[in-house]
Structure 1
């Protein structure tokens, strides 16, 4: 799809005139279906099992086993669906009897992250043989698997479950490729080779570098091209693969397929079992089933090395809600700290032992110049102890390191977390705003600011209170930074006095709950009078309306026409409470259908409607080629005005009828074309991406409803588009004390000039990079960021690197966020990838340069 669109460009002929462009054409043709992607393709339509299906089947089976064992230990019954069909929803439902704190959404997110990390290996390691077990790279492939497995266990020990999922998916790809790319199945083996996951066991009977292994295929028939003596002597081999060269050792088997140049050289043909239609596709199902069993063995290894509870955390099944606090500890914050303790301890004590008990606690303190460390624990008593140890001291020069503390929390919390920031001072590190925005978009987390002693409310306080706080009072521009970040995340910037803070902290129990969904939200700045409608469905409970702004006036209307205004504390539709610039209306009327609210304010306002429901959705923008059935999640902003594809997963008994990209300013929406992929997963294509900020809105029907009940959901976090394209390599391993270079490329689609480059890690690791790149109109430039982890960094530490590119004049910026894990093991494979990725970027840059020169 991309190649067709690109080569319709007016200057495509000039590109094709050069030999380099031929390489570019081959590379572009494989970016969305790389040669190795044929290995159990992420998506396939001919009945073949895919990497995604192999991974998900193994995860669901092993997760069901863990839940069954817990049920047996607890003397509970464990029942799978009558048809024994395992899905994310059916396993979660079966596990709910044996493990109280479960979330379909977090389970879906965890499984999706694992299999998407699996699929990403095809793109990350384009030209490297060992991750795909090609070219008889058995030892190197086993090193990848065993190092990855050690990294997973180390990350779990540090409760870095997202990093563990990323590493798990990557090692699964190599493990599964072994059964498709080697001759293990042809040798007649019916059980997995445990030696591929155990570095203490020998890999015996490997083909020597000069041992012939194949003969040419007889026409299209490659069923017997492996030499008889190889089969008789049980000698292990793989196919050779090369995208650019016919070269391979004499007598060796080839991988095979249209992109494998070696398969044209004697001996011709291939031995891969990637799909039913592959040259050894008659063995595809046997290879896929062995890959499933091998994947389950690795999962069992992890489960035995940890415990059932940790294993379910890895799968996202024991995660309900996360309580995450970022707290200013300067001298004036004693009252705020006391209130944060009160409300958090109240939640912990009231929900202990229930399905609403938080599954994880996060605390980051900041002051000036210090901030952190990130404290993350599953133990409520440890969290209480850390909260009790907070003391208010220091400060003096008002601005504090607020965004640095928030950066740690965003990078360390699970995706889609609610984070609460307590401060009464401006941010001293406001230069981190773009990085915070990038992490909000990539993690889809919500940030709520509890701002005390702000300028807006200075006039409402007593003389003594104003005098004691005047040195820390924030200006409107300083408050606006917090508002902007809150609005981008779908959160609130609540401006109160210290006296009224306890009323405002009701937001914490409201939003620190499981199965929280956003029905509707808008931001209006500047304000204008407007009427909004939204749909409430029968799956929703605890529906709440938030309005934040300068003196907002609003009236809520039910589907039957009953109304309640802001001035009514307890009215016909619910109860209203106010603290500072924040209004909370808890709806008590259980009416489904279309509700309406009219609202206005003096300068700005936000509106958010949310509740609890099992019906929700996850989404990622992906690069997708419909012709070849492959996709990979994007880790940066989509291109303004360009077309795009959204991968969407729906939870709960519902079906999708409409997916919209709604402009955050209210100036319109773009409707997508929906294609069902499998079960409750969809691909949604858009012919253009709105300019600026937008929200993803989903409309559909409840399946379990007695009637065709409509439902509506919206993404809480805003997404943004950009006219800058930035690409970088994805997650990897790095060694303590050893510099590692991440390569990236920046392409401009409009503005020429010097682009500002910024790079940061959440761990404060030493970075080296050029602060600018020069680009012409439709130009491209390459850069690199060298990261050095301190030599004493603990094995398994997860690190988030954000690379940003800003257009001249600050008119636009884009970013990529990458995660990697600090490993004590060799990272030779990652270094091989660095070379491969550099080649990829060079070819892409050459292509863009030729196209627009």
Structure 2
């Protein structure tokens, strides 16, 4: 559910030395560079725009396919104006994006010299392991009864930093481009149970020298096989580039490259492969900067869609409801009637539907359209109160929600009502 992470507090931009894409516009080398801030924000906005298109509200000026995802120079304000008709503020949504961006950029500050936090030094598997751990921890937090959303946003920012570094610092973009699949993101990345391509072993040279000075054309310096991943070594990090005298050797491990990487001018192979910037003096593979950024944006979007799909939640509710109904249908334990209560924000949008036909419940669930997502706490206790009021004594009440209550003041009344009517509440996660 999108609201699980899109809810935050105000933050400023972090300026510092980057280990891949640069943090923000203040640290960009070229005016047209994509930064971590750009990639994260655009990726989130594209994910939400697609969600909005699939779940339109009445106020939406145009929610047809491509109308929101195709907004030129998309911003939270432009997206909200078109979706909500200009009557809903994007402030809290933007604050949540800013918080995730902050945590993304903070990795450069907290883990400056650790190659595995940046997919550097051929720490491919180690970096992927970090991503898997971050994602598993994130899902564990979000599945708690009372999720810690601050911790969740921190994990999301860290995960996205690693994800975006994969495209800037490894040779995946070069592999995809040479195979004619330049628009394909690397989906196994960071997913538990998914194996990834092997990294080049220590014994294999991965680059040839492409010049001892900056602004040298390094477009063809990769020599590693197309079925192996590699990444550049960077001076000052905890994984040192294997030493090879450039006067004697023209091939060796790849460097990260650029003015902040001494290994790129002191150890063979000279040069580098980073795609951090459009500037040739900063990024030896500057010609692939835009392509790397586009893939990083697309993968950022896919991450939020995978983690935030309310459609999957609705399908899970439908399947679980069908299972519950089928267990009692046609037996002496079948209930007299079935009641479906839905709640929304604001609380006056709570609906109650009753039927004696179990098929109606599945049909009603199939007609549910979800929308919004900028404000996570919902009027869940208002919904529970409505269900408790209309339910017959001794009924089983099944509650499906992943949102914290916005109406906790109702808890005492609801508890009394449940006790009086001897209702049995069963939470479904």
Please say whether Structure 1 and Structure 2 have the same fold, judged by a TM-score greater than 0.5.
yes
Aligned counterpart, 1:733: none
State the match for 1:218 in structure 2: 211
1:352 aligns with 2:348: yes
Structure 1 position 242, deviation (Å): 2.2
CA drift at 1:150: 2.3
Q: Which residue of 1 aligns with 2:353?
A: none
1:312-354 CA-to-partner distances (Å, cap 9, x unmatched) read xxxxxxxxxxxxxxxxxxxxxxxxxxxxxxxxxxxx9996339
CA contact (8 A) 2:380 2:405 kept: no
Structure showing greater Rg: 1
Match of 1:182 in 2: 170
The equivalent position to 2:270 in structure 1, one of 249, 268, 271, is 268
Output the CA distance in 1 between the equivalents of 2:273 and 2:303: 26
- Paired with 2:38 and 2:345, the residues of 1 have a C-alpha distance of 41
The match for 2:3 is none
1:660-700, Cα deviation, whole Å (9 max, x unpaired): xxxxxxxxxxxxxxxxxxxxxxxxxxxxxxxxxxxxxxxxx
Q: CA deviation at 1:298?
A: 1.0
Change (3 A) 1:139 1:305: farther
- 1:112, CA displacement in angstroms? 0.6
Equivalence for 2:410: 384
1:126 aligned counterpart, secondary structure: coil
Aligned residues: 304
CA drift at 1:226: 3.0
Determine the structure 2 residue equivalent to 1:248.
241
Cα separation, 1, equivalents of 2:229 and 2:123: 11
1-structure distance, mates of 2:235, 2:259: 11
Asked if the contact 2:210/2:269 (under 8 Å) is kept, the reply is: yes
Partners of 1:161 and 1:96 in 2: how far apart?
Answer: 25
Higher-strand-fraction structure:
1
1:293 Cα deviation from its structure 2 partner: 1.1
Aligned 8 A contact 1:130 1:138 in 2: yes
Contact 1:246 1:265 in 2 (8 A): no
Secondary structure, aligned partner of 1:134? coil
Deviations 1:431-478 (A, max 9, x none): xxxxxxxxxxxxxxxxxxxxxxxxxxxxxxxxxxxxxxxxxxxxxxxx
C-alpha distance in structure 1 between counterparts of 2:58 and 2:308, whole Å: 16
Q: Secondary structure at the match of 2:349?
A: coil
Question: Which residue is equivalent to 2:99?
Answer: 113
- Distance in 2, Cα, partners of 1:216 & 1:113: 41
1:527-571: CA deviations, max 9, x gaps?
xxxxxxxxxxxxxxxxxxxxxxxxxxxxxxxxxxxxxxxxxxxxx
Is 1:35–1:259's contact at 8 Å kept on the other side of the alignment? no
Asked if structure 2 preserves the Cα contact closer than 8 Å seen for 1:152 and 1:167, the reply is yes
Matched, 1:193 2:193: no
Aligned equivalents of 2:140, 2:126: Cα separation in 1: 21
- Cα deviation 1:576-628 (Å, max 9, x = unaligned): xxxxxxxxxxxxxxxxxxxxxxxxxxxxxxxxxxxxxxxxxxxxxxxxxxxxx
1:137 matches 2:133: no
Q: 2-side partners of 1:102 and 1:150: how far apart? A: 34
Task: State whether structure 2 residue 134 is matched by structure 1 residue 148.
Answer: yes
> What does residue 16 of structure 2 align with?
33
The answer to whether the 8 A contact 1:213-1:227 is kept is yes
Given the two structures, how large is their TM-score scaled by the length of structure 2? 0.62
State the 1:85 CA deviation: 3.6
2:52 alignment partner, one of 67, 74, 90: 67
Residue 161, structure 1, aligned to residue 154, structure 2? no
Residues 383 and 308 of structure 1: CA distance in aligned 2, closer, same or farther (over 3 Å): farther
Secondary structure, aligned partner of 1:196? coil
CA distance in 2, matches of 1:178, 1:66: 26
Structural mapping, 1:146-545, within 5 Å? 146-158=132-144, 159-187=147-175, 188=177, 189-190=181-182, 191-219=184-212, 220-224=215-219, 226-228=221-223, 230-231=224-225, 233-243=226-236, 247-249=240-242, 251-263=252-264, 264-277=266-279, 278-304=283-309, 352-353=348-349, 359-360=377-378, 378-379=404-405, 383-386=409-412
Whether 2:79 is the aligned partner of 1:91: answer yes
TM-superposed deviation, 1:76: 9.5
Distance 2:345 2:170 in 1: 55
**SS of 1:185's equivalent?**
helix
| RMSD between aligned residues | 3.8
Take 2:129 and 2:16, find their aligned partners in 1: how far apart are those partners? 26
Q: Is the 8 A contact 2:114 2:238 kept in 1?
A: no
**Conserved 8 A contact 1:213-1:253:** yes
Gaps of 5+ in 2: 1-13, 245-251, 315-343, 351-371, 382-401, 417-429
Bigger helix fraction: 2
Change (3 A) 1:349 1:252: closer
Question: How far apart, CA to CA, are the structure 2 residues paired with 1:89 and 1:213?
Answer: 45
C-alpha contact (below 8 Å) 2:115/2:238 kept by paired residues: no
Conserved? CA contact 2:15–2:24, under 8 Å: no
